[in-house]
Structures are given as structure tokens and as C-alpha cells.
């Protein structure tokens, strides 16, 4: 560009910056901004947060052990599988596609792992490596079929849902169950971090978050770009630090004598390893999707594949990679599942696992209509779905109640998504 | 050629506006699709700092001609020169590399991405080696520079999604994106179709600024008002042949319409 730089007088500064004083006005500005976005259909994670609050309040009122340290620790374990699978589903949804095969892929990889360990006596690390590779290969195969051959992803992965389940049954053999007695595999779901590590994780994570975000705003200001007021950034970082510290305190059992947390004997305190794995995956993929070229291309292809192609994006490669990653995450989910059940068996319904993962992604705020959402919605949605299942279990409800309630919640959140989309269209944003 | 009004009409006045050498020149370009002859021996030229309107009825070959330059099609015959040097354009990225940017009617923007992400789509700054974290700050600054340089001031924030922009603002983003990559020639396909009056004015003034910056601009349009508002020269295609060339200041809409319809045959 050879054009001379014109002064930037035409562009108003960030609204919050214009208001001269006070946290109060900042809060009002942010509140107003959020409300405008909500009205225009940019709901993000707000419905899921409200839902989580309602669900937790309801179950705590009904079953006072719901928010006990032990049960929350249990909940973290329960969402490990769903959350990991949902993270992969989010990636595919961002691409405006769907993957119905994640449940089957995860149980297939679980069966491969069990078979390698038990029937072929492989060391655990090679068995894990091969199961992950198998997952990635399955994903690449499905991605190829969709992106290159051109079969709709819905059909390819529906075939996968059936087909990979068949392969799983073949791998498991006539008994239908392989029990895994391997201390390393078991440790994934049964171990917890030492208390000090848990604290270090919370403090370190919150510190890194605060530092990077404050640094970013400072750099924006220095570059003469509109920046958020420092008070807002600090407040948000403080909130995240508080959540992290409370979560670790609860899981470590430090709050066992305080308020609602001290109502049960807590035998295995500490942050569950499976929860740390899930959190690590979510943080990593959230970073990839929002801060790298590859992530940008996922959103671009989901927004308009044709526009991305004309801009020089290799749409086929992006699609195959995303389906590969999704299946790889399904394999990690299968690993956690194997560890929790210490077996691979026919007992798990791949259809239900798949739909819970998709439900978690959508409930957490990723749009079924594609191109909008965040990997964090996998964690949040899995928490919502997991809390409902866990609460109903505590309440001694029959399995049919669980299915009906989960179905209703999914319908509710997809309805919110559809209405939000209509709101965006009305505001000219769709 | 049966009719070539350029010599007759233009005479000495047909001298190029800003230089002797066209930034883009096509000589004797022909293109056929099976039995259909879409272009027959077409010459075409744009000078730096000039807006050329390419007009013609449906099926006249406007789009085919443009696609031969932007790398979507390859011409069967004829040569393409950029800055006087013969070039070969086989793919859209060939065209981009040679400084030819095309803004299609559908704009090819991703609605769910913000303005900055769209302007840098496919050419993001990411250190090191394209795999590191995105250089958002740098991209945002450069986007603002380009928009400011073109006086696109109606966009409140470059961090809002393109979905929230008006039609004229989207067109402005698409055009700004085209010129920020050291383009020499910008081709605009129906830039004012489906825009309201104010939006059209906004886009047309942007096109004028492209001319001020010394770019060669080709505008395909059906809208004669647009043609007479911005074009320096008007090139008329009819049935795959170039049938007339007008200087905007020396002609009337009636004459142009007549050429488009083929009525010029009688006049000549």
C-alpha cells in the first residue's frame, strides 16, 4: 500500500475509554455492551453459565451432598470423557460440519488399547500411542471421505457410528469384555494431584492468564489501538483466579469444614488427573483455535468455505485435519473411559456417548449452525450435562428420567441457539 | 474488425491519462467453451490512475474477459501484458502475485470473522514461519492504516464481525483487502449492485481514491449511472468482441446504450 496515512479522527475510541471516570461507569458500559450483544444474538456462554447456576442451586437444595467435595471430585471425573469428546466435536462444529462417530471411535480405541495390553501384552506406553494413532487414522479416513470424495460429513460419520462399533466388537472378541489391570492406565482416572501441585496449578494458571491479558492491553494502548480499561482486565483476571483457587481448595479438601463443602468424608483429596488432562486439552485447543493461523482457518471455512478457498486457504487440508483431531480427541476420551471402567466392553452405547458429547458442545454455546463458538464450551457444556446426570443419580432417579431430562436440556439449548440465530439475522448479523 | 470506434472517436484525445504504458494490456485474447466462442480477438487496456468501465449485455463476455485476467480461466489465444511485460496467468494466485486483485460480486468475506481477520485471511502475520501465534496487533494496525488511507471511516471498530456491517461497508472491506496487497490492478465486479444510494456513493468515492493512488481500476457494471459517475473510459463488449470505446466526458448514456445493444452499427 502506497497510500499516505490519514489521521485517525473519524474512528471513535473504545466506548469505555471515552467515559472519564470510575469502575461504576466501566461496569455500566460493559453491561450495556453485553446486553446489546445478547439482543443481537451473540449469546456465547451466557446461557450455559445461567443453566449451571440453576442446576447447582436446584440439586444442592434437594440433595445437600451435591456440592460436597467428594461429589464435585466425582463430577470432574465423570465429565472427563464427555468433555474431551466434546472438545473435538466443537472443532468440527466450528467447521460447520458434524461428527456422529466420536462415541464409536472412542470405544473402538478403548478396545484396541485393552486388546494390546491384555491379549498382546504390549507395554502401556506403546499401547496408548497406537490407540491414539488408530484414532487419528480413523479421523483422517473420515475426513478424506468427506473433504476429498465429497460425501456429506453427516453421512460419513453416521456410517462411522455403525461401522466402528462393529470393528470394536470384532476387536473385543467373543467375550465382549476385556478387563484391564494396568496400574499406569488405572492411574489416569483414579489418581489425583498432590495438594501442593493443585495449588501451584491454580496460582500459575491464574497468574499466566492475568499477565498475558494485562500485557496485551498495555501493548494495545502503546500501539495506539483501542484497549479495554485496566480495571476490567484486572477484575476478570481476579474472578478467574478466585474460581481456580476455590475449585482447588474444594478438591483438595481444604474447605471440608466450611459452609456446604464439609458434609461428607473425603477419602481421595486432590485435583483428579483426568480433570487436569481435560483442562489442559481445552486450554491448548482454545489457544490453537483463537491464536494460530490453523485455528483462524477453521473458523473461516466454517463461515464461508468458498471465501476461504479464494483467499488461498487449503480448505481440504483444514477439513481433514479437523476430523483427524476430533477422532484423536475421541481416542483420548476412550483412554480416560478405559481407565475409569478398568475395562473395554460392549456395555457402553456409542450412540449415547456421541450425543452427549455433541449435546455438551452445543449446550456450552457452540452453534450447531457453524462458525461460532469456543472450545471452552466443551468444558462448560460437559459440566452442565454432567451435573444433571450426577444430580439425578444422587437423587436416586431412574435411568429413564435421566434420558428424558438430558433430551429436554439439549432441546432447550438448541432452541436458544436457533432463536439467537434469528436475533442475529434480525440485527443483520447472520 | 467491423467496428472500432476508438480511433475515430478518441483521436488525439485517446492519449492515456497518466502515462504511456498501460498497467494491464490484453492483445487479441480469444476464449471458447466448446462450441461457444465467448471472446474473439479482444484487446483491452487500463492505464495507471484510470478507471475503466467494462460494459455489455448479458453474455457479452465481460466476466470471461475478467476471469482470463484473474486466473480463473486461461485464454486460448492472445497475450497479457502487465507493465509492458508479457505474463502468464493460469491460477488466481498467479494473478495475485502479479498485482491483479479481483473483488467478486459476492465479496468472498467470512461473516463470522472480524474485519481484521477478513483483510488478512490467507496471509495472516504469524511468527515464526507462519505457525506461531498470530500477530494480531500488527494486523489490526495495518488494517486501520489501509482503511484510513482510503478514508473508510464508517466502520466503527475493526474488531466487529463482518456480519454486522452494512452492504457498503462490506464492499469497502473487500476493496480495501484487495488493495492492501500491493495491487496494481483492481477489478471490481458489480461493486454497487444491491446497494442503496448512500452506500453506493460511499463505494464510488472509494473507487475514486483507488484511482488517486495510481491504481488501474476495472469496473464491471450494468449501472450506467455508476459508469458515468466514476469511469474515465468505457469499453463496450458485444457478443465476445470489443465494439466500442468512449471517453466518459465525450459521450452520453444514450450512445453507450446504443453500443451495448448493437445499434451502433447503423450509427457507424
* A13 Cβ under 8 Å from any chain B Cβ: no
pLDDT at B157: 87
CB contact residues (below 8 A), chain A span 52-91, against chain B: none
Chain-chain contact of B122 with A313 (C-beta, under 8 angstroms) = yes
Residues 6+ apart with CB under 8 A from B223: B192, B193
A12·B156 Cβ contact <8 A: yes
Closest chain A residue by Cα to residue B107: A307
Chain B: closest CA distance from residue A230 (Å): 17
Which member of A4, A223, A292 has the closest CB to residue B133? A292
From B121, B123, B133, residue closest to A300, measured CB to CB:
B121
State whether B108 and A307 contact (CB < 8 Å). Answer: yes
What residues of chain A, 204 to 233, have a C-beta less than 8 Å from chain B? Answer: 219-220, 223-226
* Cβ within 8 Å of residue B205, ≥6 positions away: B151
Cβ-defined contact of A428 to B164 (cutoff 8 Å): yes
For residue A40, the tally of other CB atoms under 10 A from its CB is 19
Residue of A nearest to B159 (CA): A226
Q: What is the pLDDT of residue A324?
A: 98
pLDDT of residue A258: 61
User: Inter-chain contact B153–A10, Cβ cutoff 8 Å?
Assistant: yes
H or E segment to which residue A178 belongs: strand A177-179
User: How many other β-carbons are positioned within 10 Å of the β-carbon of residue A59?
Assistant: 21
What pLDDT, on a 0 to 100 scale, did the predictor assign at position B114? 92
Interface contacts (A, B; CB < 8 Å): 117
Chain A residues whose beta carbon lies within 8 Å of the beta carbon of residue B179 = 1
Indicate the domain borders of chain A.
45-191+272-423, 192-271
Residue B232 vs residues A155, A362, B50, B53, B150: alpha-carbon distances, Å: 54, 54, 6, 8, 20
Q: pLDDT tens digits, chain B, 268 residues: what are they?
A: 333 444 333 333 344 455 578 999 999 999 999 888 999 999 999 999 999 999 998 888 898 999 999 888 889 999 999 998 999 988 888 888 899 998 988 888 999 999 999 999 988 888 777 777 888 889 999 999 888 888 888 888 888 899 888 888 898 899 898 888 878 999 999 888 878 888 888 889 889 999 998 899 999 988 888 899 999 999 999 999 999 899 988 888 888 998 888 875 544 4
CB A81 within 8 A of CB A378: no
Q: What is the pLDDT of residues B241-265, one digit of tens each?
A: 999 899 988 888 888 998 888 875 5
- Check A2 against B134: CB less than 8 A apart: no
Nearest Cβ partner for B134 among A292, A310, A311: A292
- Name which of B92, B151, B214 is nearest A310 (Cβ-Cβ): B92
Strand order in the sheet with B185-189: B100-103, B185-189, B216-220, B50-55, B233-238, B241-247
| Distance from C-alpha of A98 to C-alpha of B121, rounded to nearest angstrom | 24
Q: Suggest the residue from B92, B118, B122, B147 to mutate for an interface test with chain A (most A CBs closer than 10 A).
A: B122
Report chain B residues whose CB lies below 8 A from the CB of A5.
145, 148-149
Contact residues on chain A for B107, CB-CB shorter than 8 A: 307
Do residues B174 and B103 make contact, with C-beta atoms less than 8 angstroms apart?
A: yes
CATH for the stretch A45-191+272-423: 1.10.3470
CB A156 within 8 A of CB A144: no
CB contact under 8 A, A40 and B110: no
Q: Nearest residue on chain B to A220, judged by CA atoms? A: B137
Beta-bridged to residue A177, according to DSSP, are A345
Please report where in the chains the cell 471511516 appears, as a residue.
B153
Number of Cβ within a 10 Å radius of residue A65: 14
User: First CA to last CA across chain A, in angstroms?
Assistant: 31
Contact B44, B55 (CB under 8 A): no
pLDDT at A85: 97
Q: Taking CB atoms and an 8 Å cutoff, what residues of chain B touch A220? A: 137
What is residue B100's predicted lDDT score, i.e. its pLDDT?
A: 92
Pair B47, B215: CB distance under 8 Å:
no
In tens, the pLDDT along B196-232 reads 888 888 889 889 999 998 899 999 988 888 899 999 9
The shortest C-alpha distance from A28 to chain B (Å) reads 20
Q: Looking at beta carbons, which residues of chain B come within 8 Å of A293?
A: 124, 126, 130-131, 134
pLDDT of amino acid A73: 87
pLDDT of amino acid B6: 42
Residue identified by cell 481421595 is: A268
Q: Which residues of chain A have pLDDT under 50?
A: 1-20, 430
Tell if the CB–CB gap between B137 and A220 is shorter than 8 Å: yes
Domains and their CATH numbers in chain B: 19-113+166-267 (3.40.50.300)
Using a CB-CB distance cutoff of 8 angstroms, which residues of chain B are in contact with residue A4? 149
CB contacts, 8 Å: A303 with chain B: 110-113
Nearest CA in chain A to B164: A429
Beta-carbon separation of B157 and A312 below 8 A: no
CB–CB contact A8 B148 (8 Å): yes
B131/chain A closest Cα distance in angstroms? 7
Neighbours of A234 (CB within 10 A): 14
Note the pLDDT of residue A42: 65
CB-based contacts of A150, cutoff 8 Å, min separation 6? none
> What's the ipTM?
0.83
CB-CB under 8 Å, A310 with B137: no
Residue A275: which residues within 8 A CB-CB, separation 6 or more? A76, A77, A79, A80, A251
For A291-316, the pLDDT digits (tens) are: 999 999 999 999 999 899 888 889 99
Joined together, the cell numbers standing for residue A399 give: 435411568
- Give the residue from chain A lying closest to B102, CA to CA: A310
For residue A8, the chain B residues in CB contact (below 8 A) are 144, 148
3-state secondary structure of A237: helix
Indicate yes or no: CB of B124 within 8 angstroms of CB of A7. Answer: no
In A, minimum Cα distance to B109 occurs at: A307
Please state, rounded to an integer, the average pLDDT across all residues of chain B: 85
* Of B121, B133, B141, Cβ closest to residue A291: B133
**Range 384-423 of A in CB contact (< 8 A) with B:** none
Q: How far apart are CA A99 and CA A401, in angstroms?
A: 27
Amino acid at each position: 500500500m502506497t497510500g499516505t496515512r490519514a489521521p485517525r479522527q473519524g474512528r471513535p475510541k473504545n466506548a469505555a475509554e471515552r467515559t472519564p471516570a470510575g469502575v461504576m461507569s466501566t461496569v455500566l458500559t460493559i453491561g450495556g455492551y453485553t446486553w446489546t450483544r445478547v439482543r443481537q444474538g451473540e449469546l456465547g456462554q451466557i446461557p450455559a453459565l445461567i443453566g449451571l447456576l440453576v442446576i447447582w442451586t436446584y440439586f444442592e437444595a434437594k440433595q445437600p451432598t451435591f456440592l460436597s467435595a467428594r461429589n464435585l471430585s466425582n463430577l470432574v471425573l465423570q465429565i472427563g470423557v464427555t468433555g474431551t469428546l466434546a472438545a473435538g466435536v466443537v472443532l468440527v462444529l466450528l467447521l460447520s460440519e458434524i461428527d456422529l462417530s466420536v462415541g464409536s471411535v472412542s470405544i473402538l480405541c478403548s478396545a484396541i488399547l485393552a486388546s494390546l495390553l491384555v491379549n498382546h501384552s504390549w507395554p502401556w506406553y506403546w499401547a496408548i500411542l497406537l490407540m491414539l494413532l488408530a484414532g487419528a487414522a480413523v479421523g483422517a479416513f473420515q475426513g478424506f471421505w468427506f473433504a476429498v470424495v465429497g460425501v456429506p460429513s453427516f453421512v460419513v460419520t453416521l456410517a462411522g457410528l455403525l461401522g466402528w462399533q462393529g470393528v470394536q466388537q470384532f476387536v473385543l472378541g467373543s467375550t465382549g469384555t476385556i478387563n484391564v489391570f494396568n496400574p499406569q492406565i488405572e492411574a489416569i482416572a483414579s489418581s489425583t494431584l498432590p495438594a501442593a501441585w493443585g495449588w501451584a496449578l491454580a496460582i500459575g494458571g491464574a497468574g499466566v492468564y492475568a499477565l498475558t491479558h494485562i500485557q496485551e492491553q498495555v501493548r494495545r494502548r502503546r500501539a495506539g489501538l483501542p484497549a479495554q480499561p485496566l480495571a476490567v482486565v484486572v477484575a476478570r483476571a481476579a474472578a478467574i483466579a478466585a474460581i481456580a483457587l476455590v475449585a482447588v481448595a474444594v478438591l483438595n479438601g481444604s474447605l471440608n469444614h466450611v459452609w456446604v463443602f464439609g458434609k461428607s468424608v473425603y477419602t481421595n483429596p486432590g485435583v483428579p488427573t483426568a480433570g487436569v488432562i481435560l483442562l489442559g486439552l481445552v486450554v491448548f485447543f482454545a489457544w490453537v483455535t483463537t491464536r494460530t493461523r490453523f485455528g483462524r482457518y477453521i473458523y473461516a471455512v466454517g463461515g464461508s468455505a468458498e471465501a476461504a478457498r479464494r483467499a488461498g486457504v487449503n480448505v481440504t487440508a483444514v477439513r481433514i485435519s479437523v476430523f483427524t483431531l476430533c477422532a484423536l480427541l475421541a481416542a483420548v476420551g476412550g483412554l480416560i473411559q478405559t481407565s475409569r471402567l478398568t475395562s473395554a466392553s460392549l456395555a457402553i452405547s456409542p450412540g449415547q456417548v456421541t450425543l452427549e458429547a455433541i449435546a455438551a458442545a452445543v449446550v456450552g454455546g457452540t452453534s450447531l449452525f457453524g462458525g461460532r463458538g469456543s472450545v471452552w464450551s466443551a468444558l462448560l457444556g460437559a459440566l452442565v450435562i454432567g451435573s444433571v446426570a450426577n444430580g439425578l443419580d444422587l437423587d436416586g432417579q431412574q435411568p429413564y428420567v435421566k434420558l428424558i431430562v438430558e433430551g429436554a436440556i439439549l432441546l432447550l439449548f438448541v432452541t436458544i441457539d436457533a432463536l439467537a440465530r434469528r436475533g442475529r439475522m434480525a440485527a443483520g448479523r447472520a | 474488425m467491423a467496428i472500432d470506434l476508438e480511433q475515430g472517436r478518441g483521436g488525439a484525445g485517446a492519449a492515456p491519462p497518466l502515462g504511456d504504458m498501460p498497467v494491464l494490456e490484453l492483445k487479441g485474447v480469444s476464449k471458447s467453451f466448446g462450441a461457444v466462442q465467448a471472446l474473439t480477438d479482444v484487446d483491452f487496456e487500463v492505464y495507471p490512475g484510470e478507471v475503466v468501465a467494462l460494459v455489455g449485455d448479458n453474455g457479452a463476455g465481460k466476466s470471461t474477459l475478467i476471469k482470463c485476467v484473474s486466473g480463473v480461466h486461461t485464454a486460448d489465444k492472445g497475450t497479457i501484458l502487465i507493465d509492458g511485460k508479457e505474463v502468464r496467468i493460469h491460477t488466481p494466485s498467479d494473478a495475485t502475485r502479479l498485482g491483479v486483485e479481483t473483488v467478486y460480486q459476492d465479496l468472498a468475506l467470512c461473516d463470522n470473522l472480524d474485519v481484521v481477520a477478513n483483510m488478512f485471511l490467507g496471509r495472516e502475520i504469524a511468527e515464526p514461519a507462519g505457525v506461531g501465534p498470530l500477530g494480531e496487533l500488527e494486523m489490526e494496525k495495518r488494517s486501520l492504516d489501509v482503511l484510513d488511507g482510503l478514508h473508510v471511516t464508517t466502520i466503527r471498530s475493526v474488531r466487529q464481525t463482518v456480519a454486522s456491517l452494512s452492504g457498503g461497508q462490506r464492499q469497502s472491506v473487500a476493496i480495501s483487502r484487495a488493495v492492501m496487497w500491493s495491487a496494481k490492478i483492481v477489478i471490481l465486479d458489480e461493486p454497487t449492485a444491491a446497494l442503496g444510494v448512500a452506500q453506493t456513493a460511499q463505494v464510488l468515492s472509494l473507487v475514486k481514491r483507488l484511482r488517486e493512488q495510481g491504481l488501474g481500476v476495472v469496473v464491471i457494471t450494468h449501472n450506467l449511472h455508476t459508469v458515468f459517475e466514476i469511469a474515465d473510459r468505457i469499453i463496450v463488449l458485444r457478443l465476445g468482441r470489443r465494439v466500442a470505446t468512449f471517453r466518459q466526458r465525450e459521450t452520453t448514456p444514450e450512445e453507450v446504450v446504443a453500443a451495448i445493444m448493437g445499434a451502433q452499427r447503423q450509427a457507424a
